[in-house]
Structure 1
Amino acid sequence: MIRSTLCSLRNFSALAPLLQVALVSFVLGLVFVLIEAWTSTLVDYGLEGASPDSLSAWVVRVEAGALLVEDLDSGERQRLRLSPELTRLQVPLAQLPGQPLVLSHLRGYLLGCTRDDQPWCVARCDSAEQCQQRLRERESCLGMLGFAWLGSLVCLLAHGLGSRRFYRHSAP
């Protein structure tokens, strides 16, 4: 679609194929820049103004991307989301069910956990702002932007080196 749109532009189809690919990659990079600029400040994870909280709980079970825990004092159950951006596990997930842990969490996101003063999972952020920034980085388009512009650079270099070789061989 992008290539066909660019082909309708003047002289695009007259360019060498590698230059066409470089131009398309560059345009895709610009699209990713716009997406990143638009979405990086709009994503809200509901962490504004929150402060980490802790509780002592049994891990009832491990679900897809979450822990179901039961508070030791009140018996209340809650689901704490596991995010690799916020928590680094020190033990396998299969080892968590049935264990009494002291958990730190931030509005439903698990940050850290200990058992007998030994860390079983370690928080990767200390405040709501840091955690929100780490979650935003996960959804960033910057990787795609870098890949698109790297593709442009590779194509331009390949075109430049290819045309140099061609001119060198064609000289009498």
Structure 2
Amino acid sequence: MKMSDGVEWAIHCVMLLGALPPSATLSGKALAEFHGIPESYLLKHLKMLVTNGILESVPGPRGGYRLARQTKDITLLDIVQAVDGKRPAFRCTEIRRRGPCALGDGAYPRCCGVNRAMMRAEQAYRDALAEATMKDITDEFMANADPRIVPLGENWLEENTRTPKS
């Protein structure tokens, strides 16, 4: 199963935004810089996360992006579907009904066994993604990260976080 690069980028952006205080934001430019990825491409994915209720976009000079809900309420499946869509990875075209051995529709009362097996695998994959929350991912990162990286990230966030005027 192949996912777009945008899925990885979106997951990391959501994880980083989860470290912000509730009203704070990061600009798309800052998110792209932090991850070393092209801003123009990232902005398309951030827009999809906003459309799907994962992020909020805050306009203005102190605006940017922030989470629309808590990390415990955002799953990997939410992000994957926001970026890559909800269509199954496998799409059966019923090739068994073509070629020299093809019979009429009545010969195929059940869905193809290949399709059934692929749909079971797809469901297992989606179930696993639906169980993994961004809180789980963040907690695992914090428990296993090289201790030198956390203060670097905290310092970067302090320099780049935008807060609304009081």
Question: TM exceeds 0.5?
Answer: no
Q: Which has the larger radius of gyration?
A: 1
More strand by share: 1
User: TM-score normalised to the size of structure 1?
Assistant: 0.27
More helix by share: 2
User: TM-score normalised to the size of structure 2?
Assistant: 0.28
The structure, 1 or 2, with the larger RCO (C-alpha pairs under 8 Å, 6+ apart) is 2
